[in-house]
A = this chain, B = another copy of it.
Amino acid sequence: MPDPKKGNSDGESGAGASQKPVRLKELAEHLDLSPAAVSIVLNRSPVADSIPQATQDRVFAAAKELGYRPDFLARSLRSRRTRSIGVLVPEISEGYAAGVSRGLEKHLLSEGYFYFIASHQSEPELLAEGLERLRERLVEGFILLAAQLKAPPPLPTVVVSGHRALEGVTNVVLDQDHAAHHALSHLADLGHERIAFFRGPSNNADADDRWRAIVDAAATLSLEVAPELSIQLEGLSYGEVFYREGYARAKELLARGQRFTALFAFDDIAAVGAMRAFFDAGLRVPEDISIVGFDDIESASFLNPSLTTVRQPLREMGEIAGRVLLERLGGGETPPQVVVKPELVVRDSTCPAP
């Protein structure tokens, strides 16, 4: 006799009712076939060639009718493929990471990959722990943002803004030399000679390379990088806001009492903070001080004044990271490095030196 569970002969009851999923075995019984046969058909495995089309059609029809979905865990356990990747970002927040993250989805989702995300706060221990925990979950690869890896990770990895060549790792990096040259020659053209610099925090993957590029470019342009105008930004403790750091360091810069007519900030966020500090000190931007940022975050063109900045194609870098990792996972070879080009976006925060 029929037991008193709610009868649902339709497999696909629209409402989000949580009826228990159909299993391969049940589907097979329904079809009067073995689970093996059904699996073979559904996965279009090579052996399926010998199975007549009529049967195959029956199988697909029944699978659809009963709403069969292979169990992800069982399948992954067997195939050792999870179609998942792990993403570690410095901080889930505005600015840089947000820009890159937007690009990640593009290729991944359409290929059936999902990603776990977590933050590493620019701390090596957190990064290492994140890698380990994600590996336990059998992700197939990593995408890391602004991470300073010491050793090659155990899985295919793409690092956005990674400057160390490591076995099995593809670095997606901006051409920092071009970037620095663009920014500084723009300032030089405007007649700026006393230029202040925000140097990136030591725990930032781009900081050293960008600084080196700045020093090189300055030399080429016969500009001075004055130590008394160079400010080292500090990394943030968890949850702090980087705008504040730009603000504080700009105040410090002003307190030094040194004359300068322009600031090249490490990134847009710090630039915005600095701009605020200059306003608070009664200075005008750009009339008294020109500011060049870095990144071209979404808000950059809407600020007051709008921000002249070196544009990193953040979103594109995210897309590249996703695509390159997929290629790797698909067995393709990938280069140790992909270099993307920056672009100087001149807006209203720069003008000729006073």
Stoichiometry, as copies per complex, reads 2
Contact A16 B73 (CB under 8 A): no
The verdict on A247 contacting B69 (CB below 8 Å), with A17-B154, A94-B98 known, is no
DSSP majority for the A interface? Answer: mixed
Q: Which listed residue (B74, B92, B116, B298) contacts A243, Cβ 8 A? A: B298
The verdict on A73 contacting B77 (CB below 8 Å), with A92-B101, A304-B276 known, is yes
- Chain B hits for A119, CB < 8 A: 105
The verdict on A117 contacting B115 (CB below 8 Å), with A151-B16, A298-B94, A302-B276 known, is yes
Give chain A interface residues in 76-108, CB to chain B under 8 Å.
76-77, 82, 84, 91-95, 98, 101-102, 104-105
Q: Which listed residue (B18, B69, B94, B155) contacts A299, Cβ 8 A? A: B94
Report the Cα distance A101→B94, complex, angstroms.
Answer: 11
Contact B302 A304 (CB under 8 A): no
Stretch with Cβ within 8 A of B (4 or more), from A32-40, A54-62, A130-138, A321-329: A130-138
- Chain B hits for A18, CB < 8 A: 154-155
Of all chain B residues, the one with the shortest Cβ separation from A268 is B299
Report the Cα distance A117→B92, complex, angstroms.
Answer: 12
Contact A298 B73 (CB under 8 A): no
Kindly state whether residue A51 has any CB partner on chain B within 8 Å. no
State how many residues of chain A have any CB contact under 8 Å with chain B: 60
Closest CB of chain B to A23's CB: distance in Å? 13
Contact A138 B95 (CB under 8 A): no
Report the Cα distance A315→B154, complex, angstroms.
Answer: 33
Binary per-residue interface labels of chain A (143-160) against chain B in the complex, 1 for a CB within 8 Å, 0 otherwise: 000000001111100000
- Chain B hits for A272, CB < 8 A: 299, 302-303
Q: Which listed residue (B109, B275, B297, B305) contacts A118, Cβ 8 A? A: B109
Report the Cα distance A297→B302, complex, angstroms.
Answer: 15
